[in-house]
Chain A
Amino acid sequence: EAQVTQNPRYLITVTGKKLTVTCSQNMNHEYMSWYRQDPGLGLRQIYYSMNVEVTDKGDVPEGYKVSRKEKRNFPLILESPSPNQTSLYFCASSLTVLGNQPQHFGDGTRLSIL
């Protein structure tokens, strides 16, 4: 089944403890991205990647890192998490960077930073 898989689905952790949220897609998609969703602010893009070894900042990249060493994986790294990064995170992918390709989203990761 074609899907975008995020792990973990839920995580409660403490300020400053490095964490990684993994994202994997099995559709051979070139484009992948990360969003966060906060009440009243909607979905905002954190980082995106147009292909392997190509990443770029979205609207809210501060405090996050990403890597794209393989086509299928696009992990989101919080080197030193802070409470303002408590949020619901979504990974998405699409076949190519072209605008007429829909993005497919994962089921989300709910992070709580205490």
Chain B
Amino acid sequence: DAKTTQPPSMDCAEGRAANLPCNHSTISGNEYVYWYRQIHSQGPQYIIHGLKNNETNEMASLIITEDRKSSTLILPHATLRDTAVYYCIVKDNNNDMRFGAGTRLTVKP
């Protein structure tokens, strides 16, 4: 699976959009980009995933660059409850989720 690079930490003001970047320059054509988050020591929570098109659901939007070498997770109106560690993962059909260190997002009042 391709490796990902994320900033170790980010801050965001409450009510503003949180944009979390992820680099995956070695991604291959059949690998999906997934985003999960983990609040404190709870189980990782699935947020969104995509292959090449941008995706949106009730939680977030996923923007994947045309060359697929990077992506951005957007939380449109961050709240204090969005404070968590966010993981960007790329994976193929072998279904092996490999979690990196992620980005610790802190939403501040």
Contacts and interface: CB of A to CB of B under 8 A. Distances in A.
Given A42-B100, A42-B101, A102-B49, A108 B95 contact: no
Contacts of B97: 33, 35, 43, 45, 92, 103
Interface residues of A, number: 28
- Most chain A C-beta atoms within 10 Å of own C-beta, residue among B45, B46, B100: B46
Nearest to B98: A45
Main secondary structure of the interface of B (DSSP, over half): loop
Contacts of A42: 99-102
Interface stretch (A12-20, A68-76, A78-86, A93-101): A93-101
B53 to A, nearest CB: 13
Interface residues of B, number: 24
Contact of B41 (A45, A94, A102, A108): A108
Contacts of A31: 95
Contacts of A48: 95-96
Contacts of B42: 107-108
A102 B46 contact: yes
Nearest to A43: B99
Interface stretch (B18-26, B28-36, B70-78): B28-36
A105 B44 contact: yes
B92 interface: yes
Given A99-B30, A102-B49, A108 B92 contact: no
B43 A43 contact: no
Nearest to B50: A100
Given A45-B97, A97-B93, A103 B32 contact: no
Interface of B: 30-32, 34, 41-46, 49, 51, 91-102
